[in-house]
Amino acid sequence: MTKKHEIDISIPVKNGRGFAETSKTTLKVTVSGYFEIISPEGGTWSILAKMNGNTILDVHDVKKGQKLKFSHKTGLKTKLEVEAIWSEKKDTTLKVHADVST
């Protein structure tokens, strides 16, 4: 049975760079869906996302509103790390919305 989840993530960005991580028990499921930047308005982003050290997303020149697909099979436990680099060398909060199915 497929479960759908909507997730909103906020990543603090200092001088154009941000990082966030989380760990969850996931019980060997496939996680798939898309994410999109919902804020800030300007600039472009480079996003690197890793699950348990494996790259699941490595994109550049991403703008607000672009939907980026991903799919990855998890282990029993999952550590998600996201690094974001903004084209603007300012402080902000990167806000991302994700629709995820498991």
pLDDT of residue 37 exceeding 80, the answer is yes
* This prediction's pTM: 0.85
The identity of residue 90, as a single letter, is K
Instruction: State the CATH number of the domain containing residue 28.
Output: 2.60.120.380
**Amino acid identity for residue 101 in this structure:** S
pLDDT of 1 reads 67
Q: CB–CB of 72/51 below 8 Å? A: yes
Number of folded domains that form the chain: 1
- List residues bridging with 73 in a β-sheet: 30
Q: Does the structure show a pLDDT above 90 at 9?
A: no
Residue type at 66 in one-letter notation: Q
What range does the domain containing 18 cover? Answer: 4-101
